[in-house]
Amino acid sequence: MDMLIALLATCLYFSALGLVVPGLTNSNGIKTRPVFFCALAAIALHILLLKNLILGGIGQNLSILNVASMISVLIAGITTVAMLKMRVWFLLPVVYSFAAINLLAATFLPGAFITHLETHPAVLLHISLALFSYSTLMIATLYAIQLAWLDHKLKNKKSLAINPNIPPLMMVERQLFKIILVGNSLLTVTLLSGYVFIHDWLVQGKTHKAVLSLMAWAVYSVLLWGHYQRGWRGRSVVWFSLIGAFLLTLAYFGSRFVKEVIIGA
């Protein structure tokens, strides 16, 4: 049953992609409603499958693939809602492909990392904040890549044909910093909640997570300061965003990837 749900959700994700991609290569408008409902159905099935994968046994199975799938559906959900107000079409092919791949991987390559969060509500709150902060800052990373692409096209005087589906450079930049501000605020609360609620967050095996997360927070904080106080923009903004995302990914997934995928523990 889970495999059938995964395949159906994947088909719906790629159906949404099939409605978006042609509009990025020509000036024809993308019809929002069909894309929205295809993606919404895929996300609903994705959440149903995650419920089975994570809550289907004793405790909660937070394997690295289940967590990655959870993050991908959060990102897909946020960007799908955003399409109703903003031109996020450039991001959707990456977002929906990422969601579909993670969904299939979690279904067909099951792993186990059993936790019992029902007995630790404070830890559940911390993990929820971490997931939302990471998802938000990964969306910011996609915006930074889009910004770099638009900037490259303009600097090389490559004509961006009049395409209503591609947003202006300045609009992308403004949205990027709003998203980073929200993501970094969530990351700040995540770090504070870890300090308050998780008493062993600096013990051996967890120290690198705290250090890398603090480094990522510092990178994003410097980037926000540089933009609003010094007027930073362009290539430096993109590099800061990518470095912050890399550090945060190492913090969240580095040791888990080694243990679960490489060592197989």
Highest mean pLDDT among 151-155, 245-249, 258-262: 245-249
Sequence-distant (6+) residues with CB within 8 A of 192 are none
Phi then psi for 60, rounded to 5 degrees? -120, 130
The pLDDT assigned to 221 comes to 97
Number of other CB atoms surrounding residue 142 within 10 Å: 22
Mean pLDDT score across all residues of the chain:
86
Predicted TM-score of the model (pTM): 0.88
The pLDDT assigned to 259 comes to 57
Asked if residue 27 lies in contact with residue 159, where contact means CB atoms within 8 angstroms, the answer is no
Region 99-115: what's the mean pLDDT? 87
Q: Is the pLDDT of residue 261 over 60?
A: no
Q: How confident is the model at residue 120 (pLDDT cuts 50, 70, 90)?
A: confident
Region 27-36: what's the mean pLDDT? 85
Distance from the first to the final alpha carbon of the chain: 27
Q: Is the pLDDT of residue 264 over 60?
A: no
The structure tokens 């969060």 sit at 117
The pLDDT assigned to 134 comes to 95
Region 82-111: what's the mean pLDDT? 90
> Per residue in 41-89, pLDDT tens?
999 999 999 999 998 778 788 888 899 999 999 999 999 999 988 888 8
> Per residue in 143-178, pLDDT tens?
999 998 888 777 776 555 566 777 888 889 999 999
Phi then psi for 61, rounded to 5 degrees? -90, 95
The two tokens of residue 77 are 């959900």
Q: Higher-confidence residue: 8 or 120?
A: 8
Sequence-distant (6+) residues with CB within 8 A of 160 are 150, 153, 154, 166
Burial per residue of 177-214, b for 16 or more beta-carbon CB atoms within 10 angstroms, e otherwise: bebbbbbbebbebbbebbeeebeebeeeeeeebbebbe
The pLDDT assigned to 199 comes to 64
H/E segment holding residue 60: strand 60-61
